[in-house]
Chains A and B, each alone.
Chain A
Amino acid sequence: MKSLEELKAIKAKMQDKVALRTSSGDIRIVVGMATCGIAAGARPVLNAFVEGVSEAGLGDTVTVTQTGCIGICQYEPVVEVYQKDKEKVTYVKMTAERAKEVLEKHIKGGSIVTEYTIGAAKI
């Protein structure tokens, strides 16, 4: 059974890592988490990004954050990727599987997954 005591060990392990972190990340992944996003399935999308970033050890350069309604509810779950000196990329109708693909190809590989972007979406 887990106890709060275990957190002491986690803290000791993490203290150096957190202190060493200099920037808040070069890439910011933002997931819309208003009623429209949640109803369309944003929770598993968010968690796929959080877990994927952690598993890939990208915590120092990539941050995953939540936002409210972006105003394009019909395209939810919507994910925006902000990267320094680059144009914002908006992914629409996301799923956990698509999130993994975006992590692999775009966040790690540097090439936008065009088929999931808002520009490619059928209106």
Chain B
Amino acid sequence: MDELSLYILDITMNSVRAGATEIQITLAEDGEWLDFTVTDNGCGMTEEQVKRLTDPFFTTRKTRKVGLGVPFLTMLAEMTGGYVTVKSVSEKVSENHGTTTHARFGRNHIDFIPLGDIAETVKTLIQGSPDINFTFTHTKPGGEVRLSCAELREELGDIPLNEPEILTWIGDYLNEQYEEISSI
């Protein structure tokens, strides 16, 4: 994968498949680091599952015998001098279940890859799961870009968020915010 936004899409899909109804995607950049965090209220994982996450030959899926999502992310983060941490509470353990994945990337490292089209990633997630409350926040030195599906829903009522007109609007809304903060 040649854009960070594709890794973000891939890792967030884990939260979608964990049955989450609330997913927060946060990006925070300073001069040195880019921190990516995704937090969900999905089914979570047991301690044993979390331990085996970086093992490419561990997956719970039935269609193939490898799981490369977290190993890919970890490889990229470590290549740039960063790291990945995963904290999870299984639904078998607590009612307050869910997973938080945090990845840190060294922005100035030669192996750091461009963020790419993050608006497309957000649109793709909403297209696939219009009922999930995604919250996207990207904090940069120039300001903040933000989107909350719950807020969109307050305006739109029962119109599904994956209607093409809405998705186009979401893309434009995000890109305009990016333009705004880059001109500061």
A residues whose Cβ falls under 8 Å from a Cβ of B: 1-2, 4-8, 10-11, 13-15, 18, 33-36, 38-39, 43-44, 46-47, 50-51, 53-54, 59, 64-66, 68-71, 73
Contacts and interface: CB of A to CB of B under 8 A. Distances in A.
A34 B159 contact: no
Given A7-B155, A59-B164, A68-B61, A2 B173 contact: yes
Contacts of B160: 18
Given A6-B169, A8-B155, A39-B6, A71 B120 contact: no
Interface string B126-154: 01100000000000000000000001100
B69 interface: yes
B51 interface: no
A51 B128 contact: no
B184 interface: no
10 contacts: A2-B176, A4-B152, A7-B152, A8-B155, A33-B9, A35-B67, A43-B124, A46-B124, A68-B61, A69-B61
Given A1-B176, A11-B157, A71-B63, A66 B169 contact: no
Interface in B1-52: 1, 6, 9-10, 13, 17
B36 to A, nearest CB: 15
Contact of B72 (A1, A10, A35, A43): A35
Nearest to B148: A4
> Interface residues of A: mostly helix, strand, loop or mixed?
helix
Contacts of B10: 35, 38-39
Given A2-B172, A4-B152, A38 B1 contact: yes
Contact of B159 (A1, A18, A36, A38): A18
B111 interface: no
Contacts of A11: 155-157, 159
Given A7-B152, A50-B167, A59-B164, A43 B121 contact: yes
A66 B17 CA distance: 12
Contacts of A59: 163-164
Given A46-B124, A59-B164, A66-B128, A39 B173 contact: no
Contacts of A13: 165
A38 B6 contact: yes
Nearest to A1: B176
A11 B169 CA distance: 12
Instruction: Report, nearest first, the 8 A-B pairs whose CB atoms are least far apart.
Output: A54-B164, A71-B63, A66-B128, A7-B155, A69-B63, A2-B173, A35-B69, A38-B10
